[in-house]
Structure 1
Amino acid sequence: MTVFKGDTVEAAIEAGLKALSLTRTEIETTVQVTPRRGFFGIGARQAEVDVTAKQTETTHSDVQATAAAATEPQAQPMNRTTTETTTETTTEETTETEASTIEFETEATSKKSYAEVVAELKDYLDEIVAQLGIDATSTTEIKHRQVTVNFNTEAEGLLIGKHGRTINAMQSLAQVYLNHKRFSKLVVTLDVANYRSRRIDTLTRLAENMAREVVATGKPVYLDPMPSFERKQIHAVLANNDHVMTYSAGSEPKRAVVISPR
């Protein structure tokens, strides 16, 4: 017995029809409890109706059809399964091959694009150097996303400038050029006569000497303004120093490192 409830008998029957997914002609109903409104809600009760599906007789023809279907031979299900499995496997292998090919082609295209934009950058920088009146040649190197442009000239000091201002300014222009070409993921470094390596040694000695001075005097020291990649070198050298701390102050292009006691 399946009993459904509702505010009315009709509502209870509708609930049964919905739950059983049947129509009116397919069910039998028996009212178990009649609804009552009560007095201001007191003593009210819902209708309860037993809703059951009608029993259908199975005809002799239906039985014969069912038996015939059961005894009818199947159309080689194993071959069909094997064919489907082979097709799916072939499709997966084809998809994986296509994906690998696309990935390889994308990587090759990316490298080709890198080489093209770096060649354009080289011409751009060579033109700047020529306009500065400096006779120099340049070579480029690409490692991952790091681009290095090396200059060879007898006028090294003129190309580097005081405290590296000229070559640093050119490096900033080179990065802006790459960003403008939508290759901002490439990071460019300009060098001449191993200036960058020598500059790192100079910054390391400067950081250590200034740290000792801060410890001795107990007063902070403001270094000269320098580009961000050189400030990072100062911070890295003194990062593990137990006596001093570093931070940057000011706005570009006059932002500088401050070394102060901890």
Structure 2
Amino acid sequence: MTIFFNQSQAEEKIEDFLRVLTDTGGLNLKFEILACNGQVQPDTDDPVGEGSQSVSSDSPATTTLPCIKVELSGPDTALLQARNGELLHSIEHVAAKILRLEPDAHDLISFDAENFKANRDRELQERADSAVQLVRSTGRPYSFPPMTSRERRMLHLALAKSGLPTASSGEVPRRFVVLYPEGFKPGQPTQPATEDRTRAIRNSFRRR
């Protein structure tokens, strides 16, 4: 599927949304809206229709180079990072809805708070490396715990380097990634790894 994404209009809508959160919603946060190259995007007077990009939702570029990146900082950053970034992910999800992005295209935008997602990406890479070693040594599939669509795509990319087959299984919000041994045809596991599910349940009780 191809998505026509107007960069300047999207940035304006995101800025309006963030001002509602900080001014009306009372969140004590600062924000910067960045271009794909990591530079602060300057204000633009582009007329409607100019600056549009045609982006394939299943292209790897949409998973690694978001068209809009928002950096959040300030006293309330801890609130965004609490409960495994629950509020941060919720804000990003609402922003995607404002831009009317389909679920598979949510990676066109990315919100982060003091490198929370960057640290999470490093953790995903480490888990991917460990899973590859485990699958190769046991010859059995490995199921990761449920993740967001963005994290699943990041995980697929990290695992692709191994040459082992991967697939996503389950229904949102319990959808998860499965890594298979070489030559194994991806099936449909019924649930993620027991160890990961047990750890997730234990952590949820600790947060209460």
TM-score interval (norm. to shorter): 0.5 to 0.7
1:182-197 residue pairs with structure 2 within 5 A? 187-197=108-118
Q: 1: distance between equivalents of 2:23 and 2:144?
A: 33
- The structural deviation recorded for 1:246 is 1.3
Render the CA deviation track for 1:213-233: whole Å, top value 9, x for unaligned: 122222222111111111111
Q: 1: distance between equivalents of 2:168 and 2:9?
A: 37
Match of 1:205, as an amino acid? E
Kept in 1, the 8 Å contact 2:22–2:28? The answer is no
1:219-234 residue pairs with structure 2 within 5 A? 219-234=140-155
SS of the residue corresponding to residue 179 of structure 1 reads: coil
Could you tell me which residue of structure 2 aligns to residue 32 of structure 1?
none
1:120 matched to 2:13? The reply is no
Return the match for 1:141 from 23, 34, 56.
Answer: 34
**1:111/1:229 Cα in 2 relative to 1: closer, same or farther (>3 Å)?**
closer
Render the CA deviation track for 1:57-114: whole Å, top value 9, x for unaligned: xxxxxxxxxxxxxxxxxxxxxxxxxxxxxxxxxxxxxxxxxxxxxxxxxxxxx66644
SS of the residue corresponding to residue 261 of structure 1 reads: coil
SS of the residue corresponding to residue 168 of structure 2 reads: strand
Q: 2: distance between equivalents of 1:241 and 1:185?
A: 26
Kept in 2, the 8 Å contact 1:222–1:256? The answer is yes
RMSD, aligned α-carbons: 2.8
SS of the residue corresponding to residue 172 of structure 2 reads: coil
- The structural deviation recorded for 1:245 is 2.2
Question: Could you list the runs of 5+ residues in structure 1 that have no partner in the other structure?
Answer: 1-109
1:215 matched to 2:136? The reply is yes
Match of 1:260, as an amino acid? Y
Please identify runs of 4+ aligned residues in structure 1 that moved more than 6 A: none
Identity percentage of aligned residues: 23
Could you tell me which residue of structure 2 aligns to residue 246 of structure 1?
166
How many residues align structurally?
A: 146
Return the match for 1:176 from 68, 73, 97.
Answer: 97
**1:128/1:248 Cα in 2 relative to 1: closer, same or farther (>3 Å)?**
farther
* Structure having greater relative contact order (Cα 8 Å, sep ≥ 6): 2
For the pair shown, the structure with the greater C-alpha radius of gyration is 1
